[in-house]
């Protein structure tokens, strides 16, 4: 029998680190971090631990869970079934999460949904998806300047006891060798030209081509996340760590939000670095706004997302209220569009997540052919990079990111990716430079030595 969930005010903090630090080594600990946001999207911090159950999808697509109730073999059906196990009574509240699923869906989770069979190998041994069923959370609302513990009485007593324990000691984090790219400048050029061949042959209009950088490390990945967070305040950050694995995400991009039946996607296409002076910064922003190439990239992805949202939204409800708007973040300017629709009556947030996954802004168009070409040309699979982090509330709310600017740790190695969309008139040297521009500040935050 369910017990009523209560919303208990907590002292407001400007960042979630103090609340999360005592929880971070508990089973299933997860932080969705607004990261002192610059730009729209970031409002809430959501953190929890010790879920009722954890569910993973292996790199062969098999479902495993410590739930007492068996789950379906299909990964999406299994996550729906896991969410349905939550039995809570919740009050009316503006808060976005009052219990449900929190976790990640890796880029490779798309292999469960689309016919992708390429040459890339699994270089980072993380599950394709890992979500927990959470019946409590600490939530911070940065617009209202409020913090809350959402839990029933029994859970509240547990969480209050956990918060009273001193946080684990942070051990120094060190990169023990310089970050190295899995392909050199020549290798990137060969793959760039292969993309151009596919574009001119009519296979695709745009391909998002990425390259991975890796380095061995020692020490506490929580310290690594603190360094990254300081370097890159973003509205869709997140942290989770278990065993020898971790996801450290500093994303500026929303994938899908669903609230009261309204669905919103915010694809990013078009990037310039911030300038060192106000004049240089304004010039770079104006250059981006005036770029026909960047605008064309963005519009292609908007068309793709209109189609993806149309698979689960009511007919005629999909609109584009913002096309190629300029948004400026701590380290880059972006062109951002907004695509929205109204969820059809027979669809759920998990349905539209599956219908639109992975996000078109990090695949290319048309999506399935683009993913096949990516799998052929990129030497290793992307893991959580270009997947999504987020939550699905039991009331039907959802918010997820596109996991760009994301580091993935496994077996003593830390991996980062940088990528960009290639179209027919892309210039090789500029595109190669853009892949580095997007992550240079992350590499610098982790190590004094950036890749050449």
The catalytic site residues sit at: 253, 269
Q: Which residues pair with 89 in a beta bridge?
A: 4
Contact in structure between 253 and 404 (CB atoms under 8 Å): yes
Q: Which residues pair with 328 in a beta bridge?
A: 333
Phi and psi angles of residue 328, each rounded to the nearest 5 degrees, phi first: -115, 130
Please give the Cα distance from 258 to 303 (Å, whole number): 19
Question: Which two three-digit tokens encode residue 189?
Answer: 């050029």
Question: Which two three-digit tokens encode residue 227?
Answer: 């360094």
Contact in structure between 377 and 315 (CB atoms under 8 Å): no
The residues near 156 (Cβ < 8 Å, ≥ 6 apart) are 6, 8, 136, 149
Contact in structure between 238 and 32 (CB atoms under 8 Å): yes
Please give the Cα distance from 317 to 243 (Å, whole number): 44
3-class DSSP assignment, residue 351: helix
Please give the Cα distance from 359 to 363 (Å, whole number): 7
Inter-CA distances, 271 with 98, 299, 326, Å: 36, 14, 10
Contact in structure between 107 and 384 (CB atoms under 8 Å): yes
The radius of gyration of the chain's CA atoms, rounded to the nearest angstrom, is: 21
Contact in structure between 83 and 350 (CB atoms under 8 Å): yes
User: How far from each other are the two terminal CA atoms of the chain, in whole angstroms?
Assistant: 60
Contact in structure between 106 and 387 (CB atoms under 8 Å): yes
The residues near 22 (Cβ < 8 Å, ≥ 6 apart) are 162, 163, 164, 165, 166, 167, 168
Q: Is the dihedral of CA 347, 297, 289, 429 positive or negative?
A: positive
HEC readout, 228-289 = HHHHCCCCEEEEEEECCEEEEEEECCEEEEEECCEEEECCEEEEEECCCCHHHHHHHHHHHH
């Amino acid at each position: 029998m369910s017990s009523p969930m209560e919303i208990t005010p907590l002292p407001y903090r400007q960042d979630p680190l103090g609340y999360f630090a005592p929880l971070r080594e508990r089973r299933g600990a997860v932080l969705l971090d607004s990261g002192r946001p610059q730009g729209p999207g970031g409002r809430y911090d959501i953190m929890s631990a010790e879920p009722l159950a954890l569910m993973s999808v292996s790199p062969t697509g098999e479902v495993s869970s410590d739930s007492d109730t068996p789950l379906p073999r299909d990964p999406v059906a299994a996550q729906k079934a896991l969410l349905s196990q939550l039995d809570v009574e919740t009050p009316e509240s503006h808060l976005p999460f009052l219990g449900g699923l929190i976790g990640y869906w890796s880029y490779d989770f798309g292999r469960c949904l689309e016919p992708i069979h390429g040459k890339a190998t699994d270089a980072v041994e993380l599950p394709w998806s890992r979500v927990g069923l959470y019946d409590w959370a600490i939530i911070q609302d940065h617009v209202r300047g409020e913090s809350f513990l959402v839990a029933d009485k029994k859970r509240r007593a547990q969480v209050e006891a956990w918060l009273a324990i001193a946080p684990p000691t942070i051990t120094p984090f060190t990169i023990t060798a310089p970050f190295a790219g899995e392909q050199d400048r020549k290798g990137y050029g060969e793959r760039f030209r292969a993309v151009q061949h596919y574009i001119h042959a009519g296979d695709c209009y745009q391909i998002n081509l990425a390259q991975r950088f890796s380095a061995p490390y020692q020490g506490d990945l929580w310290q690594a996340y603190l360094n990254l967070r300081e370097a890159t305040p973003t509205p869709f950050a997140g942290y989770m760590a278990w065993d020898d694995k971790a996801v450290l995400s500093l994303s500026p991009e929303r994938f899908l939000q669903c609230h009261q039946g309204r669905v919103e996607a915010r694809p990013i296409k078009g990037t310039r670095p911030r300038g060192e002076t106000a004049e240089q910064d304004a010039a770079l922003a104006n250059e981006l706004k005036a770029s026909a190439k960047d605008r064309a990239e963005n519009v292609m992805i908007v068309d793709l997302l209109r189609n993806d949202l149309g698979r689960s939204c009511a007919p005629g409800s999909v609109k584009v209220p913002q096309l190629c708007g300029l948004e400026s973040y701590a380290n880059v300017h972006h062109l951002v569009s907004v695509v929205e629709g109204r969820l059809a009556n027979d669809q759920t947030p998990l349905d539209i997540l599956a219908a639109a996954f992975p996000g078109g802004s990090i695949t290319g168009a048309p999506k399935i052919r683009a993913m096949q070409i990516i799998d052929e040309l990129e030497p290793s699979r992307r893991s959580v990079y270009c997947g999504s982090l987020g939550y699905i509330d039991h009331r039907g709310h959802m918010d997820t990111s596109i996991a760009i600017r994301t580091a993935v740790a496994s077996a003593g190695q830390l991996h980062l990716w940088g990528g960009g969309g290639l179209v027919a008139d892309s210039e090789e040297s500029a595109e190669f430079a853009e892949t580095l521009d997007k992550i240079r500040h992350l590499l610098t935050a982790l190590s004094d030595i950036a890749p050449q």
